[in-house]
Structure 1
Amino acid sequence: MNWGQMYDCHGGVHRVPELLDRVEHDEDAEAWGELSYRLVLEGELVFPASFAALPRLVRLASRSDRARGLAGAIMRCAAGEHGCDDLFAACADAIAELRQTLDRHLCSRPADYLTTFLALLAVEEQYHWSAVVGDFSDDVYLIACPHCAVEVTIAIGDYGRYSAIRDWHLGDVDRRDLGPASPEDLNDIGRWMHATAVRDGQAFLAVGIVHLFGRAECPRCASVFSIADEYESSNRPVM
């Protein structure tokens, strides 16, 4: 690896390999903090050093929560305009290993389940879902009705599961209950998300997923549409 060309989020070229050497031999909290600072900028941007470091982070991920979390954070940013497509492609073996590591961690039903679940979605190239799915206590998705183009608010959480028109003064008005999908009718990624949540005893997450992949009625024109299909058509990045 020519680290002289692998600049990090802050323009450094030699600091990241030094920090990787430190964390490989010692669970150094200060070094991990600086690595995070240099490899992922504000939770959104990655640079050449981020992908150069990914294989080494993945090798540590089975025994280090920080390595697993940082590798997942890099993956969640991988669809951005980073200009590192060749470096990213060279990480294919490491990404395959990370997929297995993340899935094993989910099976243990960890405290950071949702964070790990979202990282695994990114590994599966479902970046649009990785960026927005929450714990379904107060998830909101904004979708243009495919028939009349009005902006429809889709709410899935403790306050209800409905479509509505959001009014700045009145709140969500003209609410219509969502129609959840049956697990058997989910598309490939929806079926995988639901099956994983069920496997790991994440009942609330599973219920949220069948609503997210269900159907909504537009409060303006009363047409019915697939929530996931419309969200994906507008937000799935072109790879």
Structure 2
Amino acid sequence: MVNWTEMHDCYGDVDRVPALLEQVEREDDAEAWEELGYRLVLEHDLVFPASFASLPRLVCLASRSARARGLAGTILRCAAGHHGCDDLLANCANEISEFRELLDRHLQSRPVDYLATFLASLAAMEEYHWSAVLGDFTDDFYQLACPHCAVEVTIAIGGHGRYSAIRDWNLGDVDRRDLRPALPEALSGTGRWMYETAVRDGRGALADGITHLFGKAECPQCASVFDVADEYTSANRPVLR
């Protein structure tokens, strides 16, 4: 049982969120959902005790409410931030597992909000770094340091090309080197889940982008070859405490 007297929202209130939850549980009230959203997730992706305390009830609503599904997903995608509520997040482990299964069923319906659902699924797997930056590979860029010479390398995956380069703010991306995509059968862990899910759901462009994201890049400066996803994960994956 949640002690709402200890669960403040972004305004410091402890009574408004439970009242709003009761309201949206009774009826799909657009104004109530809007207020609930900005009380639970502040701009700059800040979340609060009331955000995590609301997750179980949002998950219960998520199978029949796109707003509940979207808000629960947004809260999870913010979970890697400095919110001081790790104990509350841990207490939601069962609901997060249930939510992940619900999201997977929704992905299989090939919805219009496919990418948002895909990103929420990654957050439910605690892959917050990918949840924060993964796009649809029409215009994706990743900045990372070469693990051998430390020069900043731009990784491009999209309609403009699939390459590593040195970014020059006057000349653009120079000394481009083609990426070397991973073989699908060589993928493992999160990369394999991402690829197989995209293929299952008929998202060819997403699946192709994932093979490049989990493939290899050549550093334009020292010509060393490194794993793109491994280096990005090492530099950006948050440490949860």
TM-score, L = length of structure 1: 0.99
1:69 maps to amino acid? G
Q: Is 2:49 the counterpart of 1:48?
A: yes
Deviations 1:56-92 (A, max 9, x none): 0000000000000000000001111111111111111
**Partner residue, 2:169:** 168
Superposed displacement of residue 187, structure 1 = 2.5
In structure 2, list runs of 5 or more residues that go unmatched: none
| Structure 1 equivalent of residue 149 of structure 2 | 148
Taking only the aligned residue pairs, the percentage that are identical comes to: 72
| Partners of 1:216 and 1:226 within 8 A in 2 | yes
> Does residue 1:221 correspond to 2:184, yes or no?
no
Runs of 4+ in structure 1 displaced over 3 angstroms? none
Structure 2: how far apart are the matches of 1:60 and 1:161?
A: 40
Partner of 1:130: 131
Structure 2: how far apart are the matches of 1:10 and 1:122?
Answer: 25
Take 1:43 and 1:22, find their aligned partners in 2: how far apart are those partners?
27
Residues in 1 aligned to 2:35 and 2:185: alpha-carbon distance in whole angstroms: 45
Q: Is the 8 A contact 1:43 1:73 kept in 2?
A: no
Aligned to 1:68: 69
For 2:21 and 2:44, the matched residues in 1 are separated by: 20
Counterparts of residues 177-192 of structure 1 (less than 5 Å)? 177-192=178-193
| Correspondence for 2:32 | 31
The separation in 2 between residues aligned to 1:163 and 1:10, in whole angstroms, is 44
2:211 is matched with which residue? 210
1:94 and 2:86 are equivalent in the alignment: no
Q: Take 2:90 and 2:44, find their aligned partners in 1: how far apart are those partners?
A: 21
Alpha-carbon separation, structure 1, partners of 2:215 and 2:94: 35
Partner SS, residue 42 of structure 2: coil
Q: 1:47 offset after TM fit, Å?
A: 0.5
Q: State the number of aligned residues.
A: 239
Give the letter for the 1:16 counterpart.
Answer: V
Task: Calculate the TM-score normalised by the size of structure 2.
Answer: 0.98
SS at match of 2:10: coil
Q: Distance in 2 between matches of 1:168 and 1:223?
A: 23
Q: 1:32 to 1:43 in 2, by over 3 A?
A: farther
Stretches of structure 1 that go unaligned for 5 or more consecutive residues are none
Q: Output the CA distance in 1 between the equivalents of 2:28 and 2:44.
A: 22
CA deviation after TM superposition for structure 1 residue 118, in Å: 0.2
Distance 1:37 1:229 in 2: 35
